[in-house]
C-alpha cells in the first residue's frame, strides 16, 4: 500500500497502537523485501540478528518483530549505556543474595523481565566474552544462570541482537564469539543506511515535519526545492534518527514559512554551484560527515553530549568519529 507521501508501507494486523511494520516506511525495494522477510520471522520464536549503522532503526525493527509475534510478554530493550561493564552480567541475568559486595538481596535480570516476550540487546559487541558465552546458552538451550546461583533457570524470552558493524569482522577482531554469530545467522537483517535508500529521506522528512507540527501545535510550511536537493545530497551519518531531529528543529525555526536548507541545518548543501557555496569543497561522504559533526558542535556551543543527541549517536561514537577526523587531517 502507499501513504499520502508515496512511501510504501507494510500493513500489520498486529500493531494495536504499538510500533508495527506499518511504522517502518520505505520506498526502497531492498528494504521492503527485508521487512517482508522480517514479518515472516516474527511469527516464529527464532533469535534474530539486526545489523545496521546507528539510527537506521534496529530498535524499531526489533519492536515490530515483537509486536507481530503476538506473544503476551513485554518488549525489553537495553543498550551499552544501560549496562555498565561491572554490572552488565547482573543486569542481564540477575543475581542471588550475597553474589557480590552490596548484593543484599536477590534481584531478577532483564532476561526474566522479558519472560514470554522479547529482549533486544543493542550493540552486543560492547559485552564481554563471558556474557556472550552465557547468551550462547540462552540461544541454544533457553537457559541461563543468575550471578551467584547454583542452578540454571529457563527463559521464554526471545533474543534479538543489534550490531553496528560487520559481524564477521567483529569475529575476526575478537569482539564477537564466532559460535554465537553462527547461532544468530539464521535470521539476519541488514538495515541499509538512509543514504542508500533512494528518496526515502525526502519522504521521511515530509512525514517527520508533519508529525512535529501536529505534536507541537505549530503551522507547517512545505519543503522548498532547495531543501529537497539538500536532503538528497547529505549523507545523514546519524540516519533516520538524525533526519527526524533535523525535521523537528526545522518546524520550530521555520515558524510556518516554507522550510529551506537553513532550517534543516543544511544551508551549505543548498542547490547552487559549489564555488558559490560556503560548505565543504566536495560532496564526498567523509566531507559531509565531518561537516555534520562540526555543525552539531556549533549548534550546541561545543557541548558534546548535546551534539551527540542532535546527531542521534552515542557519545562514544561522537568521540570516536571526531578522533578519526583528526587522524585523517594529520595524514
For residue 78, the surrounding DSSP H or E stretch is: strand 75-78
Residue 172 lies in a domain: yes
Say which CATH number the domain at 302 has: 1.10.8.60
Residue 7 lies in a domain: no
288, 289, 282, 287: which is closest to 317 by C-alpha? Answer: 289
- pTM (predicted TM-score): 0.74
Residue 284 lies in a domain: yes
Residue 14 lies in a domain: no
Q: Is there a single domain that holds both residue 67 and residue 203?
A: no
Containing domain of residue 322, as a range?
198-330
Say which CATH number the domain at 118 has: 3.40.50.300
Domain finish residue from 151, 166, 192: 192
Pairing label, strands 188-190, 48-51: parallel
Q: Is there a single domain that holds both residue 231 and residue 169?
A: no
Q: Which residue has the higher pLDDT, 285 or 328?
A: 328
Please tell me the predicted confidence (pLDDT) of residue 196: 92
Number of CB atoms found within 10 A of residue 26's CB: 21
Task: Report phi then psi at 158, rounded to 5.
Answer: -90, 140
Q: Is there a single domain that holds both residue 226 and residue 323?
A: yes
Q: Tens digit of pLDDT for each residue in 142-191? A: 999 999 888 899 999 999 999 998 999 999 999 999 999 999 888 999 99
Measured between its terminal Cα atoms, the distance across the chain in Å is 50
Q: Is there a single domain that holds both residue 139 and residue 277?
A: no
Q: Is there a single domain that holds both residue 31 and residue 171?
A: yes
Q: Contact at 8 Å (CB) between 110 and 75?
A: no
Whether residue 37 is predicted with pLDDT greater than 90 in this model: the reply is yes
Q: Is there a single domain that holds both residue 176 and residue 40?
A: yes
For every residue of 164-212, DSSP letters joined together read SS-HHHHHHTTSS-HHHHHHHGGGEEEPPPGGGSTTHHHHHHHHHHHHH
Q: Tens digit of pLDDT for each residue in 205-221? A: 999 999 989 988 888 89
Domain finish residue from 148, 173, 192: 192
| pLDDT confidence tier of residue 288, bands split at 50, 70 and 90 | low
Q: Is there a single domain that holds both residue 268 and residue 203?
A: yes
Which residues neighbour 305 within 8 Å (Cβ) at sequence distance 6 or greater? 315
Q: Which residue has the higher pLDDT, 290 or 331?
A: 290
Please tell me the predicted confidence (pLDDT) of residue 11: 31
3-class state of residue 55 by DSSP = coil
Q: Is there a single domain that holds both residue 163 and residue 246?
A: no
Q: Tens digit of pLDDT for each residue in 221-247? A: 999 999 999 999 888 988 998 899 889
Q: Contact at 8 Å (CB) between 279 and 246?
A: no
70: its cell numbers: 503476538
Segments in 200-270 forming alpha helices (H): 200-216, 225-233, 239-254, 261-264
CA distances from 170 to 165, 176, 311 (A): 7, 5, 24
173: its cell numbers: 577482531
Q: Is there a single domain that holds both residue 210 and residue 318?
A: yes
Cα dihedral 261, 263, 265, 266 in deg (nearest 10): 0
Residue 298 lies in a domain: yes
Q: Which residue has the higher pLDDT, 300 or 115?
A: 115
Average pLDDT for the chain? 82
Please tell me the predicted confidence (pLDDT) of residue 7: 38
Q: Is there a single domain that holds both residue 172 and residue 249?
A: no
| pLDDT confidence tier of residue 197, bands split at 50, 70 and 90 | very high
Q: Is there a single domain that holds both residue 43 and residue 177?
A: yes
Q: Is there a single domain that holds both residue 149 and residue 212?
A: no
Among 203-207, 292-296, 310-314, 326-330, name the most confident range.
203-207
Percentage of residues in the chain having pLDDT higher than 90? 47
Average pLDDT over residues 279-308: 66
Percentage of residues in the chain having pLDDT higher than 70? 85
- How many domains does one find in the chain? 2
Domain finish residue from 140, 165, 192: 192
Amino acid at each position: 500500500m502507499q501513504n499520502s507521501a508515496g512511501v510504501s508501507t507494510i500493513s500489520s494486523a498486529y500493531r494495536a497502537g504499538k510500533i508495527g511494520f506499518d511504522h517502518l516506511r520505505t520506498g526502497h525495494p531492498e528494504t521492503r523485501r527485508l521487512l517482508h522477510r522480517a514479518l515472516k520471522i516474527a511469527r516464529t520464536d527464532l533469535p534474530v540478528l539486526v545489523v545496521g549503522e546507528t539510527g537506521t532503526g534496529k530498535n524499531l525493527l526489533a519492536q515490530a518483530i515483537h509486536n507481530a509475534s503476538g506473544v503476551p510478554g513485554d518488549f525489553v530493550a537495553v543498550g551499552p549505556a544501560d549496562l555498565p561493564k561491572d554490572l552488565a552480567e547482573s543486569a542481564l541475568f540477575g543475581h542471588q543474595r550475597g553474589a557480590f559486595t552490596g548484593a543484599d538481596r536477590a534481584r531478577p535480570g532483564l532476561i526474566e523481565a522479558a519472560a514470554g516476550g522479547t529482549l533486544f540487546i543493542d550493540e552486543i559487541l560492547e559485552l564481554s566474552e563471558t556474557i556472550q558465552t552465557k547468551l550462547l546458552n540462552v540461544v541454544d538451550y533457553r537457559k541461563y544462570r543468575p550471578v551467584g546461583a547454583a542452578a540454571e533457570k529457563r527463559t521464554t524470552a526471545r533474543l534479538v541482537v543489534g550490531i553496528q558493524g560487520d559481524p564477521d569482522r567483529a569475529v575476526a577482531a575478537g569482539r564477537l564469539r564466532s559460535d554465537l554469530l553462527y547461532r544468530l545467522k539464521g535470521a539476519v537483517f541488514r538495515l541499509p543506511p538512509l543514504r542508500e535508500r533512494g528518496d526515502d529521506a525526502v519522504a521521511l522528512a515530509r512525514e517527520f515535519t508533519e508529525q512535529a507540527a501536529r505534536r507541537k501545535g505549530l503551522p507547517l510550511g512545505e519543503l522548498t526545492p532547495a531543501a529537497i536537493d539538500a536532503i538528497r545530497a547529505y549523507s545523514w551519518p546519524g540516519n533516520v534518527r538524525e533526519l527526524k531531529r533535523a525535521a523537528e528543529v526545522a518546524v520550530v525555526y521555520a515558524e510556518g514559512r516554507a522550510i529551506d536548507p537553513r532550517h534543516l541545518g543544511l544551508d551549505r548543501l543548498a542547490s547552487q554551484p559549489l564555488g558559490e557555496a560556503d560548505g565543504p569543497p566536495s560532496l564526498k561522504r567523509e566531507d559531509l560527515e565531518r561537516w555534520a559533526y562540526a555543525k552539531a558542535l556549533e549548534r550546541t556551543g561545543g557541548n558534546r553530549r548535546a551534539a551527540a543527541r542532535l546527531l542521534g549517536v552515542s557519545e562514544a561514537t561522537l568521540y570516536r568519529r571526531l578522533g578519526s577526523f583528526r587522524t585523517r587531517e594529520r595524514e
